[in-house]
Structure 1
Amino acid sequence: MPPADSAALIVARFLKSNRYEESYDAFVREAGLPQDAGTVGKGDLTLEVLLEEKKTFDVSVQFEKLGVEDEVHEWTVPAPSTAMSIPDLPQKSNLLSATVGTLASSGNPSQQHLFASSATRRLHILDVPSCELRTSTATLHDSPILSSVVLRDRVLITASMSGRLIASDLDGNVLDKRTDHSKYIVKAAVLHTTPSDIIATAGWDCEINIYTPGNDQPFKFRSPFATISLPTKPEAMLLMQHPDTHEPILIISRADSNLLYFYTTESEPRLLGQQNLAPHSNAWVAFTPSALALCPADPTLLAVGTNSLPHMKLLIVRLLIPPFAPEAVPTAAPTVRRSLLDDTPVPETQASQARAALAIADREAAAIQIHCNTMAPQTAYSTPAIAWRPDSTGVFVNGDDGAIRGIETSTGKVKTVLKGHEEGSKVRCLWAGEVVGEEWLVSGGFDQQLIVWKIDRNGA
């Protein structure tokens, strides 16, 4: 018997279900199939199901937005392709986060290290480029670590599922800790600014906390400088400087929303504005932006990984950040516009408001440079992860099939598929960047593997 999804069985099911008895008997005899080959069982693939899936696929393709071939920004070769699995991690378990950062140790200059966390609450710290295990501790947090960042080569900041935020050194010594969130901290971010650095944490208690640590020795967090309360839980968060005024701002995406939200980081944060990533969609929520990453070469260009099913969609978006203006004084006067003939005030109408809304939607649609299907499978329980290549020519995305895909950012094409994790396992975390002048990709998965991907110089 051929596989259940073979063309012969699909044709046999079609002939039998439509009562083409003579054609069915002749077909199964010539194809060498058993007499009951055309019986349709639960979950069997039929010609009708195939046609419906093809129609659905064609509709989704119409919404994709691909770029134009550009030799200047095409996917650079060679790219990381050789997998080196880290073998000596104690108490192997599912990997949850991985990042490379520069951190100094007592009496030694700053150097890069690989920080990886696992489901057993362990934090692994490895020296690079040797990838030798420096230390591994399970006593830092009381729950698994979901995010880690380095602040000015001084301290390692880690955030966990219990809502705890901890600052520590390379030896695992705790410098300070806070528990200002009541649920998961899904993301911690830092921004180096003058006169004070900024730390932001996003928790599933629907709050964003903002800290401004001083130069205390040893390091101290202090109380949150500001808190942003959200109506739904945050999915992703970034700290960046406003392109015009260089003031620090937050970019936040929320569950059950197509929008990016731009907030100030003042003592009383303000919503500067929002940007719709599905401006012409007639669905209430087309998707949720679940992973955000700023382009290394252009901080106004954003890569967005969505929770779309059954495959992740990738968007490359030009940020439309509103001006960083002082908070306007509210007024009770009705909204008016000016006549084109004599400049007299004309009251706003429903039609003029609709035209203004359409103009905004058109501008938001034009800001989406790439909207493509990555073909990376995911489910409603997946955690999308994306990472830019350091030269900005591509983005790596994770998947639930054990593969990592490299997407060319100028065309939206899948340029490489890296297979090093166990087939069918979830790739949970990604980091990409330069390590000692060499391009690296780091991935961790639910197959309990931490893999460093390097460029194959011999095959280049």
Structure 2
Amino acid sequence: MPPKDSTALIVARFLKSNNYNESYDAFIAEAGLPSDAGTVAKGDLILETLLEEKKAFDLSSQFERLGMDEDEDRSWRQPAPSVAEPLQTLPSRSNILSIGAQKSTVFVTSADRQLHILDSNARFHATSLTGMQDSPILCCKVWHDHYLLTGSMSGQLILSDFSGHVFEKRRDHSKYIVQIATYYDDFIATAGWDNKISIYRPLPSVDGQPCLGDVVSTIVLPSKPEAMIFIQDEESRQPILLVSRTDSSFLYYYTVNSEPHLVGRQNLAPHSNAWVAFTPSAFALCPTDTSLLAVALSTVPHMKLAIIRLLVPPYHQTTTSGRDLQSPQGNDNLSSETQASQARAALAIADREEAAILVHCNTLAPQTAYSTPAVVWRPNGTGVWVNGDDGVVRGIESVTGKIVTTLHGHDVGSKVRCLWAGNIGKDGEEILLSGGFDQKLIAWKIPQ
């Protein structure tokens, strides 16, 4: 007799309990089972139980932490971009690496080292700049409204204007500048795969020429930086650099004035007692509530999305090795603390971090360990868009984590590399831009 949970016995029980007598006799004869194999005893596994458990598992996987509060202000708002308009104005076909926009101007970089500048008011007419960088441009950022910062695979940072005139070239990274962040006109930060973040404090313009100046400080990380943005401390009104890095489930908060200090961290898996195999690979601040952060996680085989409340630590707080950075008791009187009090403080911190995770859901966007997750907010803050390795862009409602819409415009099975969402053009039309390794650049527009 095979084990009670064997496939053959489960099928036999199904056939006998549903009175498929002829099929049952033929099956047990062919499978070599005894005549009473289909008799169901208490505790035996049956097919219906398996299906119920599978449905429950699928539901829990898809909606791991749903916000059930039907907040109309944050519910997915219609109409939303859904009509694909492939942009054919690029002079050449190549993998799209990054997308950015400023007012009516769109900036697109491609693997053939070109920077394409598109005018949305002129049917996305493209002007392409070739040879400005010595390798493909991985990221670009508008600075001071009139200038452009571009970071390349070689680690070179270039400050130019929109016409391609170069003001300054710097090579403070040895490879792969993957992120550029700016804080008004005061600070610029670049993150590279040399495990460094370089911070610049631009100098006053000389004869109208902008100048980055030398690196004023460097943050050295134990692993590669993944995502990076500037936020503002509400109490001190000082800038804080929010960073995530490979093989860590934490968000890290750094000061940037004078010498950078790590003032706190926020765990996205606070109650896990095992090594967590995911990284916050991409994140974006909500445009209507800057205390909310959408985070795309590097989970496989599907991307998971977390929408969290930022727990910004006190700006003046400093760090001490071996102690949790957000302990409410600070770093004083370490020797007087008992093991029990430390455990209670750690649990309180974990509970606070857990409560800050408002939504944690499965986006069903396939990805591998080599994928580059991307997440962008709708300008009204009612949802986010995420990319995928299957050529599909998915819209997720921010209040519930539900998949509201799927956009099919890229080639099936191709990687959607980058996204941008916002209002653009003279009329402030809401638009979504997506670029992929199928060499397509698509503008998703609201149906007329």
Q: Which TM-score tier does this pair reach, normalised by the shorter chain?
A: 0.7 to 0.9
Q: 1:327-338 to 2 correspondence within 5 Å?
A: 327=318
Q: 1:188 aligns with which of 171, 180, 186?
A: 180
For the residue of structure 1 that corresponds to 2:411, the secondary structure is: coil
For the residue of structure 2 that corresponds to 1:267, the secondary structure is: coil
Distance 1:114 1:72 in 2: 29
Q: 2:392 aligns with which of 381, 403, 427?
A: 403
Deviation, 1:16, is 11
Which letter does structure 2 place at the counterpart of 1:152? Answer: H
Q: 2:270 aligns with which of 275, 279, 289?
A: 279
Q: 1:442 to 1:359 in 2, by over 3 A?
A: same
Deviation, 1:350, is 1.1
Instruction: State the TM-score, normalizing by the size of structure 1.
Output: 0.81
Deviation, 1:175, is 1.4
For 1:157, the equivalent position in structure 2 comes to: 149
Deviation, 1:15, is 4.8
Identity of aligned residues (%): 54
For 1:42, the equivalent position in structure 2 comes to: none
Q: 1:420 aligns with which of 402, 409, 418?
A: 409
Q: 1:199 aligns with which of 185, 188, 192?
A: 188
Asked whether the 8 Å contact 2:410–2:438 carries over to 1, the reply is yes
Distance 2:67 2:444 in 1: 27
For 1:5, the equivalent position in structure 2 comes to: none
For the residue of structure 2 that corresponds to 1:72, the secondary structure is: coil
Q: 1:233 aligns with which of 208, 224, 234?
A: 224
Deviation, 1:57, is 4.7
For 2:261, the equivalent position in structure 1 comes to: 270
Asked whether the 8 Å contact 2:61–2:361 carries over to 1, the reply is no
Asked whether the 8 Å contact 1:163–1:203 carries over to 2, the reply is yes
The yes-or-no answer on 1:119 pairing with 2:111 is yes
Instruction: State the TM-score, normalizing by the size of structure 2.
Output: 0.83
Distance 2:63 2:415 in 1: 29
Distance 1:249 1:336 in 2: 19
Q: 1:59 to 1:415 in 2, by over 3 A?
A: closer
Q: 1:292 aligns with which of 283, 291, 299?
A: 283
For 2:92, the equivalent position in structure 1 comes to: 91
Distance 2:349 2:158 in 1: 42
Deviation, 1:354, is 0.7
Asked whether the 8 Å contact 2:182–2:189 carries over to 1, the reply is yes
Deviations 1:10-31 (A, max 9, x none): xxx95599999x999x769x9x
Q: 1:18 to 1:371 in 2, by over 3 A?
A: closer
Deviation, 1:61, is 5.7
Distance 1:415 1:59 in 2: 17
For 1:82, the equivalent position in structure 2 comes to: 83
For the residue of structure 2 that corresponds to 1:73, the secondary structure is: coil
Which letter does structure 2 place at the counterpart of 1:87? Answer: Q
Root mean square deviation of aligned Cα = 3.1
Aligned residues: 406
The yes-or-no answer on 1:100 pairing with 2:101 is yes
Distance 1:295 1:55 in 2: 32
For the residue of structure 1 that corresponds to 2:215, the secondary structure is: coil
For the residue of structure 2 that corresponds to 1:215, the secondary structure is: strand
For 1:361, the equivalent position in structure 2 comes to: 350
Segments ≥4 residues shifted beyond 6 Å:
16-20, 49-56
Distance 2:77 2:437 in 1: 29
| Structure 2 unaligned spans of 5+ | 1-5, 31-46, 322-326
For 2:324, the equivalent position in structure 1 comes to: none
Deviations 1:198-244 (A, max 9, x none): 11100010100011112323222111111100011111111121122
Q: 1:336-375 to 2 correspondence within 5 Å?
A: 347-375=336-364
